[in-house]
Amino acid sequence: MYKKRILVMTSVVSLMVCILSACSKTTTTSTSSLSNSEKNIQEHAINIGNKVASWQLNHLEEFDYLDERYHKSSSSPLWWIQAAFYIGLTEWADTSNDNNILQHIQAIAAENDFKIDERRPLHADDHAIAQTYLWLAQKSKENKPYQHVQKIFDQIIESQPKVTLEWIKTDEKIPGYHNPCQLRWCWSDALFMSPRVWLQLTNITGDAKYFEYGDREFWATVDYLFDKDHNLFYRDSNYFDMKTANGEPVFWSRGNGWVFAALPLIIEALPDNHPSKSKYIELFKAHAKGLIAQQTSAGYWPSSLKDAKQFDMPETSGTGFITYGLAWGVNNAVLTDAKSKQAALKGWNALTQAIAKDGRVNWVQQVGASPDTVKQADTQFYGVGAVLLAASEMSRWKE
């Protein structure tokens, strides 16, 4: 259990001491200035976030609740499945001021020696856990949490990949990569996993070269995968001409959720005078418009966004990421229209209906690359991360 791991790592954690409350993102809104509905929403979100975080932290070292085929891929915090949970957990740590959670994150990072998996240095999925390391570095002012990441990213910049973003049909196999295009960010998920790390590294080191690379690659992917007619992202080029059984274009809920959740994390970290900041905000607004149009009457975003009938059941990973993005947009006055506020509230209500009394997040589509069926008992780390992100913003809800 996570508390045992904290005790083992106490001597390492002491190097990373930080008073969480000094760095907290909790709202400064006076409770007396909130309406009763706002207070109720905030209190409910805090309760949900605490339960969800507690359930997952108490299920870190046994995976009998997952299909056996996912046990290995879910077992390491170096890999994206757990990393997405830890990204949500860092936001929840900032929100809840729970020092036990902070200590757990410190212990896991130190246990990893603040490293990413060097077997796939260019793979965006393996950069995701570094968001946690750099979050710790910003709090502690220590340089160890980012030294290994900086070394890997320096190597990437020195020999930048020149491959196409097209998911090409080829017999060429690169160990660990499904397709040669994954040497770059040729699939939508990658925009959640890696770009923010490049920005964090620039913010910590003061060296603009890191985010210059990340910013350029981010917009190359957006230009390639974002459909301006639907204001939605294709998961990768395989889906450009693909249709569902009902003849609709294939836009994956979680694939879009990855991008939509990444945008607030990037925008918040960008200096106001950064030349790309307005572009990120405009993309966020356009994407919000496309996503709001696909929300079901029950409040979920269906696994197949343009064909809700294809998989007619709740899905919480895409819904969690999208709800987080909408709530952030409302809280920060980026989205000011009534539709956006209603969609965020409906999304949050739908999420809470999918969470068991003990905090387990249900109805999470399993690992994949496209819309698929979901069972009520399906759960996964990244689905929990999505709910924690949403809970963090809903705990600051302001109409």
Ramachandran category for residue 333: left, alpha or beta (phi over 0 → left; psi -120 to 50 → alpha): left
Instruction: Examine the residue annotation and report whether 126 is marked as an active-site residue of this protein.
Output: no
Structure tokens at 380: 């996964």
Find the catalytic residue in 94, 98, 126, 189. 189
Which residue numbers are catalytic? 189
